[in-house]
Copies of this chain bind each other. A is one copy, B any other.
Amino acid sequence: MNHRPIITLLTDFGVADPYVGMMKGVIAGICSDANVIDISHDIPPEDVRTGAFFLERSFRYFPRGTVHIAVVDPGVGTSRAPLALRSEGHIFVGPDNGLLSFAAPRGRGVVLRSAPYLLPRRSHTFHGRDVFAPAAAHLARGVALEELGPAKRGFARLAWPKPRKTRRGYRAEVLSIDRFGNLITNFEPSHWDSLRRPEVHAGAFRSAVLSKSYRAARKGDLIVVFGGYGLLEIAARDASAAVKLGLARGAKVELVEAAG
């Protein structure tokens, strides 16, 4: 089988404006056989942390060798460096603002500075098109990472939102709310398993039952389930848990040892 190079895109550009199309045009001109796959373009504007979270949860579903472009870049055109990093056999391309740091926490890489691998006319406002897209396309067609610029150690990092230990268990938060209104927390299965009689508390909601599917409840009822992210979710059958509980991103969720 012919292995086409894969490039993924994750941005906060939306798809109504032609920005993403311009990036894909640049890529097509440099690496015409690249398979370009959108992860999301609807990251909330300038929300670097949600972008970092989506990228970390997604990249392992792509084959090794994939080049991932991520652009949530409020500091475009300032002194923050444009990067390419290698980690776990994947390559990550984006701004040095923490966006890549969940997916590639120990990545080693370079500053994108080598002119032959960037667009000749570069704006200060759209590095997605003028810097990251051409660099990624050259990487996808086989150019060595080291060719793209000088090595860099030490990158901007965001702290991965690990649940904190509390007296009775752990405190986490709602990291993301998906299209179905499911509340995605940062609890891993290991947190649930570490308690003898775990119970979830979120706003007015209490549950000690871990369900296997979204249907394990009566219509409208709330359930606790490990979802597609591999993380604990609070969901409502045929309804939005976020609406039912009135909880937003960042809301606290506790996992505690049940009393009695």
Residues of chain A having any CB pair with chain B under 8 Å: 1-4, 6, 8, 10, 12-22, 24-26, 28-29, 31-33, 35-42, 45-46, 54, 57-59, 61-63, 66, 74-78, 123-126, 129, 141, 176, 178-180, 212-215, 225-228, 230, 233, 238
Contacts and interface: CB of A to CB of B under 8 A. Distances in A.
A82 B22 CA distance: 25
B39 A18 contact: yes
Given A16-B179, A25-B59, 6 more contacts: A14-B179, A21-B58, A25-B61, A77-B215, A125-B227, A126-B227
A21 B38 contact: yes
Copies of this chain held together in the complex: 3
Contacts of A10: 18, 21
A56 to B, nearest CB: 10
Contact of A13 (B38, B77, B123, B179): B179
A158 B37 CA distance: 33
